């Protein structure tokens, strides 16, 4: 059993998670329903109800360093089944935002994939699957990712070789630029 010294509770952290998620983490009574339904639990370091407990006790480091945040599939099972109507999936999301902002990335390849996806959108206005795979493979050093699928996918014409540029792609680029300037926390 892990014992928390409440003197180490980071109260600002608790307040920030609550403000950014619009949820009241005190409502969690640790029934474990969220964990019971979480399909990713086998891969987590802390189960989702443990993450809730860590937030309640202000254990910022443990939460932001956890791999679970990056492995959550946003499947909404926890949110749907929480008897206290806590939007747990949004809390996981918000903690991941904070982990990102503060430079934690305990599942590096998950982060790299998200980054590659968003770069593609920023550049082309739409996700260009072949391009984002190339960026992901270059940055992760995993050049053999999915090469076994190449014949199947190419034969079936599932991956266009060129992006579909849209007229409004600069508008999309500007969304990202304004976002980076804006310092928006939500």
Summarize as ranges the residues that interact with another protein (CB under 8 A). 39-40, 42-43, 71, 73-77, 79-80, 87, 89, 93, 96-97, 100, 107, 109-110, 112-115, 117-118, 121, 125-130, 133, 136, 140, 145-146, 148-149, 152-153, 156-160, 164, 166-169, 171-172, 174-176, 178-179, 182, 184-186
Query: Concatenated DSSP letters for 4-60?
Result: --GGG--HHHHHHHHHHHT--GGG-----HHHHH-TTGGG-SS-HHHHHHHHHTT-H
Is residue 99 part of the contact set for ligand SF4 (CB under 6 A)? no
**52 is in the binding site of which of ligand SF4, another protein, none (Cβ under 5 to 8 A by kind)?**
ligand SF4
Radius of gyration of the chain (CA): 19
Q: Which does 118 bind (CB under 5 to 8 A by kind): ligand SF4, another protein, none?
A: another protein
| Contact by Cβ (8 Å): 21, 92 | no
């Amino acid at each position: 059993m892990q014992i928390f010294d409440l003197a180490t509770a980071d109260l600002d952290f608790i307040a920030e998670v609550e403000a950014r998620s619009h949820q009241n983490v005190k409502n969690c009574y640790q029934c474990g329903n969220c964990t019971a339904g979480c399909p990713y639990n086998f891969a987590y370091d802390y189960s989702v109800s443990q993450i809730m407990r860590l937030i309640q006790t202000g254990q910022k480091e443990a939460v932001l360093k956890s791999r679970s945040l990056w492995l959550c599939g946003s499947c909404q099972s926890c949110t749907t089944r929480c008897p206290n109507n806590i939007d747990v999936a949004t809390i996981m999301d918000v903690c991941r935002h904070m982990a990102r902002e503060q430079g934690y990335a305990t599942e590096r390849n998950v982060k790299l994939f998200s980054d590659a996806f968003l770069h593609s959108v920023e550049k082309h206005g739409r996700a260009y699957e072949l391009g984002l795979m190339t960026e992901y493979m270059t940055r992760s050093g995993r050049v053999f990712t999915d090469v076994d699928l190449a014949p199947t996918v190419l034969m079936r014409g599932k991956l266009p070789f060129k992006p579909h540029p849209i007229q409004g792609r600069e508008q999309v680029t500007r969304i990202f630029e304004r976002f980076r300037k804006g310092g928006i926390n939500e």
